Structure 1
């Protein structure tokens, strides 16, 4: 069995599974309601897939939950191999410091 795509993918999948189980429906039923193949939904729930925004919205719609509930609290630090660790605030601060030094 392959591992989770990222911590964010694992957490999203876990939240989707929890919501699905709360309604006592199986993966095939949720996949049908969301317009997905059940194997794709299974990969998403296991964190082995990185679903598109459209897929997240379809799943949230089928579950009748706000999509924000599924991604709440997630941050860029949960992604693997993030190319830049600075934020726009860090960039602006560095620019301001460089301007003051001139």
Structure 2
């Protein structure tokens, strides 16, 4: 888990909270349905935890959502300390031009 919440983790948490509240259930109920501890769900909703793929799928399943709904529009630019801003397209373009992008 990263020490500083990322924009991506805050957005994911906000979307999960909104969906949970839409169904008028509390964190303990959703956590139970998803097979999580409620304190872990709370951290996720506050953007203080980076859930694994399995956890995202469990939460989406419990909310009867396609997990893509929770992740829609998120990009790598929302992550802290991204080591490279170079994309595969940039790499291929640089190779074609004989440059070293990294």
Would you say same fold, with TM above 0.5?
A: yes
Give the TM-score normalised by structure 2: 0.92
Equivalence for 2:82: 82
Q: Stretches of 4+ moved more than 2 A in 1?
A: none
- Following the alignment from structure 1 to structure 2, what is the Cα–Cα distance between the partners of residues 20 and 42? 12
- Structure-to-structure mapping, 1:1-102, within 5 angstroms: 5-98=5-98
Deviation for aligned residue 1:57 = 0.1
Q: Which has the higher helix share?
A: 1
Deviation for aligned residue 1:4 = 5.6
- Following the alignment from structure 1 to structure 2, what is the Cα–Cα distance between the partners of residues 40 and 5? 15
Aligned pairs, number: 97
- Following the alignment from structure 2 to structure 1, what is the Cα–Cα distance between the partners of residues 29 and 84? 40
Q: What SS does the aligned partner of 1:16 have?
A: helix
